[in-house]
Amino acid sequence: MAQVLLKELNKKYDEVHAVKDVNLHIRDKEFMVFVGPSGCGKTTTLRMVAGLEEITAGEITIGDRVVNDLPPKDRDIAMVFQNYALYPHMTVYDNMAFGLKMRKFPKAEIQKRVGDAAEILGIGELLKRKPRQLSGGQRQRVAVGRAIVRHPQVFLFDEPLSNLDAKLRVQMRAELKRLHDRLETTAIYVTHDQVEAMTLGDRVVVMKDGLVQQVGEPLDLYAKPINRFVASFIGSPSMNFADVVINEANGAVWAESSGLRIKVPPARVERLRAYKGQHVTLGIRPEDLRLAAGADGDYAFDTVVDVVEPLGSEILLDLKAGSMALVARVDPTVRVKTHDTLRLAMLPERLHFFDAGTEQAI
């Protein structure tokens, strides 16, 4: 059990600056998820915590020890790899026992720990098999088991679910969550899948181009993205964006573009007035659009249905409003066809505005 501190962490390869000035405090027992597109530096950061990559500059502390110069074996961590990295020439038992044997645990203790872990993960009957005789899901469990028998201070997960099929992935996701609640060990989890990040993380770190964009609890990230990148990366289907111009008329502030005229909610007027006459980016999530009713006048606009995607529990509508394309998530009871005209309204308290230049939230 330990906290992990990253201080001004940097990684440079010959040409590439892969991780830039990352500062992060991962609390004890926290499940921290790093998420971002490929090449954003999340895996490199994890590998630096593991000791598999040299640290160019900065400091990593695990517990109360600075680990910069410690080899991986002395950092008291366990890691689960994307391809599981099971030792093919050893049985499942030996795979799980390897770390304990290397640390010279007594045999009885090893047997007990491997037995316990196998029971937790439901792989008790596989202990005598070799990795190649296991299915993908079973290998995944063995890889997790190999990590938990050691009772390390920190678990590191490097996209552990991405080699599984969709159904198994959802199942293992829930299992990992349950496991973390049970073991109460600090965990750092790297993924490119924002759904995994949202569902697993106590907190989520969104990274892009080696920079931390935002750190926060999943729902905070979702509700209050700090910039346009986080807004578009978190959530599926992703947020709709429209290029609008801010105007003032009739004692109110308006965001306008062709086919769209939205009143800026009173709470936001203060800050947006400064952008009068300028372009800003308006963002609205698909589920924050609803069929317009009489009272929605200031937030309503007309759209033409382009594609209807019924998913059963909901319907996704690809729509056109003027030159803008957007997606709306509506109830499955809504009956619409392609080319229908539909009047939609935005939920005023869920509007997002981003600076067109810096892309920061306004």
* Contact present, 147 and 176 (Cβ < 8 Å): no
Query: Residue 197's CB: how many other CB atoms inside 10 A?
Result: 24
Tell me the two tokens of residue 306: 């382009």
Q: Give the list of residues 6+ apart from residue 175 with CB closer than 8 angstroms, or none.
A: none
Local structure of residue 135 (DSSP, 8 states): -
65 lies in the binding site for other proteins (CB under 8 A): no
SS3 339: coil
83 lies in the binding site for other proteins (CB under 8 A): yes
Residue 25 Cβ vs other proteins, minimum distance, rounded to whole Å: 23
Tell me the two tokens of residue 80: 């689960």
Show the site string, 150-169: x = touches other proteins by CB under 8 A, - = not.
x-------------------
* Contact present, 99 and 149 (Cβ < 8 Å): yes
Number of residues forming the site for other proteins (CB under 8 A): 28
72 lies in the binding site for other proteins (CB under 8 A): yes
Distance between CA 5 and CA 153 in Å, rounded?
A: 13
Kindly tell me which residue out of 37, 59, 66, 73 binds other proteins, with binding defined by CB under 8 A: 73
Kindly tell me which residue out of 88, 277, 294, 312 binds other proteins, with binding defined by CB under 8 A: 88
Cis geometry, peptide bond prior to residue 237 (ω within 30 degrees of 0): yes
Residue 143 Cβ vs other proteins, minimum distance, rounded to whole Å: 8
Kindly tell me which residue out of 51, 210, 216, 235 binds other proteins, with binding defined by CB under 8 A: 51
Compute and round to an integer the Cα radius of gyration of the chain. 25
CB-nearer residue toward other proteins: 94 or 193 = 94
Distance between CA 99 and CA 101 in Å, rounded?
A: 5
146 lies in the binding site for other proteins (CB under 8 A): yes
50 lies in the binding site for other proteins (CB under 8 A): yes
Among 131-139, 178-186, 227-235, 263-271, the segment contacting other proteins (CB under 8 A): 131-139
52 lies in the binding site for other proteins (CB under 8 A): yes
Kindly tell me which residue out of 36, 41, 131, 201 binds other proteins, with binding defined by CB under 8 A: 131
Distance between CA 217 and CA 51 in Å, rounded?
A: 27
Residues at the site binding other proteins, with contacts judged by CB under 8 A? 50-52, 71-73, 75, 77-79, 81-89, 98-99, 102-103, 131-132, 139, 146, 150
